[in-house]
């Protein structure tokens, strides 16, 4: 394959661009991919590869760096100039010295691109940094400017050297961020694609792999599967001159292996090894530990991950009751749970299977008719449920700042800024304990201190009606944290 490529492109003698003294691109042969869009779905601006011949003796068995430097060329741009052996890249027309203008999108976009790259390369033992590791060896992606800055034609999304060696030592690639109009996913997947070309990876037809030319909504990740090479054919030919096939004439053999497929995930993993797993943060927001609950009680989970939360498995007493593939993470306990203590266990996974387990214990007692039926003397009985009462920190009516302060995980505020822990009640049923009333908080009831709901179980506070009106309006604006 390589012989064919070199023969094909032999007329395009090329030079070399080097941005830093520590970055060097070897002389080689360019492969100019036609900028005509692939005849499929939405177009990505084309990404070019420059063929480089790497002296195999420079390619050590182990990769020479496990660092990828994202260089946003801020604040003043990056100076890019031809490097040794000082031939001029006529095709890309880098004459003399040029300045790639700085990354022009917001810090928000920049940080999101960095997070995306850390996410996409998370499975691999390679560090993504924004600090120049020089003089240490490293891979580098300049994420900045536009192709015209380097004398290339408009519409090129990125460029990279390409070789069939296992990696290109100290490879420098370009991701022209101005082309992508602030689109984080496109800037990120272009960076991923360009640097992956330095690991002998070709284009593929799977639109969800960063190595594709095809459009995709969402985050592209390196696929751990044999994926068809292609997506870059023009008039029936691959950029390397291979005949294309397939329903859209977009399949071709992979440039280096000559096989139809490549596994980008395993190729990169072979180079860098496994990444350090970063398990998600998993929190059971409902029920609270030690809560007195009824069979079928709701279980709510919040899970956050550096980038990529995956599924949550819900277990009660060791029995798997539900797997939620994505947020919202909520389930109900079985209805047939007996009285006594039960263990709720949730296992949260990120998409790379890093796992965190959280548990709470809850108590099921018979429905109460009054406080005397409850296990704790401090409990209140609301609609048959025993709940932590007003004398308990976090109990009904306690002052609070936010849901987690409350046993119920519900902290609501009235229009005067008074915040109390509340519990659900049924309107008009007189379920709230003395000194509380069941207040309509927008279609559902909550027990509110000092509110007279007219059921006579209530309360001694006069003038609560006017409070209730203000309260109801505030309630509507508050997002209840309950799931």
Where on the chain is the footprint of Zn ion (CB under 5 A)?
Answer: 47
- Minimum CB separation of residue 314 from Zn ion in Å reads 43
CB of 295 to Zn ion, least distance (A): 57
The nearer residue to Zn ion, 167 or 352, going by C-beta atoms, is 167
Q: Which residues contact 257 (CB under 8 A, 6 or more apart)?
A: 1
Using alpha carbons only, give the angle 78, 201, 310 rounded to the nearest 5 degrees.
90
Q: Which lies closer to Zn ion via its Cβ, residue 174 or residue 352? A: 174
Q: Which is nearer to Zn ion, 150 or 464 (CB)?
A: 150
Cα–Cα distance measured from residue 126 to residue 274, given in angstroms and rounded to the nearest whole number: 8
Minimum gap (Å) between residue 170 Cβ and Zn ion? 19
Number of other residues whose CB lies within 10 A of the CB of residue 451: 24
Three-class SS of residue 56? helix
Structure token digits, residue 385: 């449920």
Is the distance from CB of 430 to CB of 457 less than 8 angstroms?
Answer: yes
C-beta closer to Zn ion: residue 161 or 395: 161
* Cα 314 from Cα 438, distance rounded (Å): 32
Angle between helix axes 107-120 and 184-197 (nearest 10 degrees) is: 50
Q: Can you say how many angstroms the Cα of residue 29 is from the centroid of all Cα atoms in its chain?
A: 37
By beta-carbon proximity to Zn ion, the closer residue of 47 and 112 is 47
CB of 196 to Zn ion, least distance (A): 8
The least distance separating Zn ion from the CB of residue 110, rounded to whole angstroms, comes to: 22
Residue with Cβ nearer Zn ion (29 or 421):
29
Q: Which two tokens stand for residue 328?
A: 């919202």
Q: How far, in Å, CA of 258 to CA of 240, rounded?
A: 11
What gap in Å lies between CA 12 and CA 31, rounded to an integer?
Answer: 8
Q: Nearest-CB residue to Zn ion?
A: 47
Shortest approach of Zn ion to residue 206 CB, angstroms?
14
CB of 130 to Zn ion, least distance (A): 23
Which residues, in sequence order, are CB contacts of 328 under 8 Å at separation 6+? 300, 483
CB closer to Zn ion out of 262 and 410: 262
Residue 47 or 126 with smaller CB distance to Zn ion? 47
Task: Return d(Cα 170, Cα 133) in angstroms, integer.
Answer: 11
Distance of CA 372 to the CA centre of its chain: 50
Q: Are strands 227-228 and 445-449 parallel, antiparallel or unpaired?
A: unpaired
Rounded to a whole number of angstroms, the minimum distance from the CB of residue 197 to Zn ion is 6
């Amino acid at each position: 394959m390589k012989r064919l490529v070199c023969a094909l492109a032999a007329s395009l003698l090329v030079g070399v661009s080097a941005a830093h003294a520590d970055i060097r691109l070897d002389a080689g042969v360019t492969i100019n991919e036609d900028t005509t869009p692939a005849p499929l779905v939405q177009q990505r601006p084309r990404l070019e590869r420059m063929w480089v011949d790497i002296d195999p003796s420079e390619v050590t068995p182990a990769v020479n760096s496990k660092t990828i430097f994202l260089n946003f060329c801020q604040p003043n741009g990056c100076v890019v100039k031809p490097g040794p052996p000082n031939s001029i890249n006529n095709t890309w027309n880098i004459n003399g010295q040029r300045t790639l203008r700085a990354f022009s999108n917001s810090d928000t976009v920049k940080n999101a691109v960095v997070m995306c790259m850390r996410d996409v390369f998370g499975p691999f033992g390679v560090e993504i940094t924004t600090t120049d590791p020089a003089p240490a060896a490293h891979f580098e992606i300049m994420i900045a400017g536009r192709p015209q800055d380097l004398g290339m034609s408009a519409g090129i999304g990125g460029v990279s050297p390409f070789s069939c060696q296992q990696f290109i030592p100290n490879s420098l690639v370009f991701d022209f961020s101005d082309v992508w109009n602030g689109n984080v996913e496109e800037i990120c997947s272009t960076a991923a694609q360009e640097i992956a070309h330095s690991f002998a990876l070709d284009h593929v037809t799977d639109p969800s792999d960063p190595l594709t030319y095809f459009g995709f909504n969402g985050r592209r990740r390196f696929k751990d599967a044999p994926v068809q090479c292609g997506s870059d054919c023009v008039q029936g030919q691959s950029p390397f001159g291979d005949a294309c096939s397939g329903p859209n004439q977009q399949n071709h053999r992979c440039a280096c292996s000559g096989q139809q497929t490549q596994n980008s995930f395993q190729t990169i993993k072979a180079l860098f090894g496994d990444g350090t797993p970063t398990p998600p943060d998993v929190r059971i927001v409902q029920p609270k530990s030690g809560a007195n609950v009824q069979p079928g009680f709701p279980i709510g989970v919040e899970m956050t991950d550096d980038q990529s939360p995956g599924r949550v498995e819900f277990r009660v007493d060791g029995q798997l009751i539900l797997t939620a593939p994505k947020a919202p993470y909520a389930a109900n306990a079985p209805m047939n749970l007996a009285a006594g203590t039960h263990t709720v266990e949730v296992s949260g996974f990120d998409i790379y299977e890093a796992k965190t387990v959280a548990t709470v214990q809850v108590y099921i007692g018979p429905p109460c008719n009054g406080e005397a039926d409850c296990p704790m003397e401090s409990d209140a009985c609301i609609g048959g449920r025993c709940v932590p009462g007003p004398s308990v920190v976090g109990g009904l009516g306690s002052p609070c700042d936010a849901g987690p302060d409350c046993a119920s995980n519900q902290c609501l505020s009235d229009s005067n800024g008074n915040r109390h822990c509340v519990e659900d009640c049924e309107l008009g049923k007189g379920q709230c304990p003395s000194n509380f009333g069941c207040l309509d908080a927008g279609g559902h009831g909550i027990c509110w201190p000092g509110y007279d709901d007219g059921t006579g179980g209530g309360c001694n506070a006069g003038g609560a009606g006017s409070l209730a009106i203000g309260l109801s309006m505030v309630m509507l604006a508050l997002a209840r944290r309950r799931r």
